[in-house]
Every structure is written in C-alpha cells, then in structure tokens.
Amino acid sequence: MPLGTWEILKRLLQRIKRVRSQDAKQGDWTLLHDNARPHTAFLVKRFLAKKGVACLNHPPYSPNLSPPDFFLFPKLKSDLKGQRFSHISDIQRNVTTQLKDIPKDGYARSFQDLYSRSQKCITV
C-alpha cells in the first residue's frame, strides 16, 4: 500500500477520535465503502481490523446506496455551481465551508435514507 493511503487512514482515525470522541471507541463504528481496490487491499483490511473498525461493503455499481453519491456530491455541486476558482486552496476552503454548513440532522437524514434505500434494494 502506498504510504499516502496509510497516512490517510491514520489521519482519518485520529480525526474521528478527536471530533467524535464519545462515538469513536475502538470497535464502536463501521466504515461503509464502495469496494474500490484501495479499500479492499490486504494491508487496508488488516489496518482496519487491527483498529477494530468493522467494514460494511456496499454492492458494486450502486451509487443509489452511497450517501456521498445521493446526498453529499449533489449538494456540493448545487452550492458551488457557477463559481470559478483560481487555486486549489480556494476550492478546498469553499468545499470545507459548505461541508461545515450542512446541519448534523442533514447527515443523519442521509443515513436514514441509506437505510430505506437498502431495504428497497433487498426487497427488489
């Protein structure tokens, strides 16, 4: 695994522990990912297992079951539509601002929506 991926995983876990310390006890949360090769690499799986992170794989080619695809990306596209950025730092700052402006209940609703979408998929 490239060092970059390893560092990203470590930073992700550190950030979760810092921001959601009450929820981030080892083994108390689940990572939903899309089965992309970087997510299913042996070293990544071993790292997550060692840290007590359960993985919930979602079916391939199912953007309707991915909260970023049905909730987050459309919202960001809508909020940033028509803006022009001259530097990557401007993009990062604007996206970060947009993400922070989403109320917590918006994220909670997206996961309730994920649950109902998953139930429909199971039924079909």
Question: How many CA atoms, within 13 angstroms, populate the side-chain half-sphere of residue 25?
Answer: 3
72 beta partners: none
Rounded to an integer, the average pLDDT of 64-69 is 84
Cα(114)–Cα(66) distance, rounded to whole angstroms?
A: 7
- pLDDT value at 71 more than 50: yes
Place 95 in a pLDDT band, splitting at 50, 70 and 90.
very high
Are the beta carbons of 37 and 96 closer than 8 angstroms? no
The confidence score (pLDDT) of residue 94 equals 94
The confidence score (pLDDT) of residue 1 equals 47
- Give the DSSP H or E segment for 55: strand 54-57
Place 42 in a pLDDT band, splitting at 50, 70 and 90.
confident
Containing domain of residue 97, as a range?
60-123
* Claim to verify: residue 45 and residue 67 sit in the same structural domain: no
Place 26 in a pLDDT band, splitting at 50, 70 and 90.
low
* Claim to verify: residue 36 and residue 54 sit in the same structural domain: yes
- For residue 33 the two structure tokens come to 């990912």
- pLDDT value at 23 more than 70: no
* Claim to verify: residue 10 and residue 51 sit in the same structural domain: yes
Domain count, the chain: 2
* Claim to verify: residue 49 and residue 66 sit in the same structural domain: no
Residues 6+ apart with CB under 8 A from 16: 23, 24, 29
Cα(47)–Cα(52) distance, rounded to whole angstroms?
A: 9
- pLDDT value at 27 more than 60: no
* Claim to verify: residue 64 and residue 119 sit in the same structural domain: yes
Please tell me which of 3-12, 18-27, 37-46, 82-91 the model is most confident about, judged by mean pLDDT: 82-91
Task: Count the Cβ atoms, other than its own, within 10 Å of residue 53.
Answer: 20
**DSSP annotation of 65:** G
Q: Is the dihedral of CA 124, 120, 64, 51 positive or negative?
A: negative
* Claim to verify: residue 50 and residue 75 sit in the same structural domain: no
